[in-house]
Amino acid sequence: MLRWCCYCQQFLGESPDYQNLSITHGICPACRTKVFEFTEADLKRSESIRDMQHQLHEAGRRNDLGAAQRIIENAVASNIRPVDVLIGVIAPMLYQVGEDWKRGAMSVAEEHGFTAYCSEISIGSLPT
């Protein structure tokens, strides 16, 4: 499973079961010390990451790579780390697409198209 800090919205690493790529939430050591100090801005950051994931998913359904790159560049420009985009946003989308295909909510062609879209969103093209 992918561990994710529910306060600062950053990737924390992995934990068993390593085959399961769903997200499990926790609190990172830095946030643990200030757990009662979170502000409206922290909440807005969480909401903006959720919105970014929704926008990336919609762009994927349209196979709109240009939109995907703009969404990711905007995220990185607003101080969301590339690793957090990759592990916290794109990986869970891929996992969900696989689950949607398994339960018949997405066709093989749609699943392959979405996977190809995600593989074209090169994390290497992101600013560091």
What letter represents residue 9's amino acid? Q
User: Edge-to-edge strand order for the sheet containing 2-5?
Assistant: 11-14, 2-5, 23-26
- Where do the H-state alpha helices sit in the chain? 29-32, 40-61, 65-77, 82-85, 91-102, 108-120
> What's the longest Cα–Cα distance across the chain?
47
Task: Choose the binding region for Zn ion from 8-16, 57-65, 100-108, 113-121 (rule: CB under 5 A).
Answer: 8-16
7 scored as a contact of Zn ion (CB under 5 A): yes
Q: Scanning the structure block, which residue is given the tokens 């790159």?
A: 69
Is the CB of 92 or the CB of 113 nearer to Zn ion?
Answer: 92
6 scored as a contact of Zn ion (CB under 5 A): no
Among 5, 90, 93, 106, binds Zn ion (CB under 5 A): 5
28 scored as a contact of Zn ion (CB under 5 A): yes
DSSP state of 105: S
Among 4, 11, 31, 106, binds Zn ion (CB under 5 A): 31
80 scored as a contact of Zn ion (CB under 5 A): no
Q: How many residues bind Zn ion (CB under 5 A)?
A: 5
8 scored as a contact of Zn ion (CB under 5 A): yes
Is the CB of 2 or the CB of 31 nearer to Zn ion?
Answer: 31
65 scored as a contact of Zn ion (CB under 5 A): no
State the Cα–Cα distance between residues 123 and 85, nearest whole angstrom.
9
State the Cα–Cα distance between residues 119 and 115, nearest whole angstrom.
6
Sites of contact with Zn ion (CB under 5 A): 5, 7-8, 28, 31
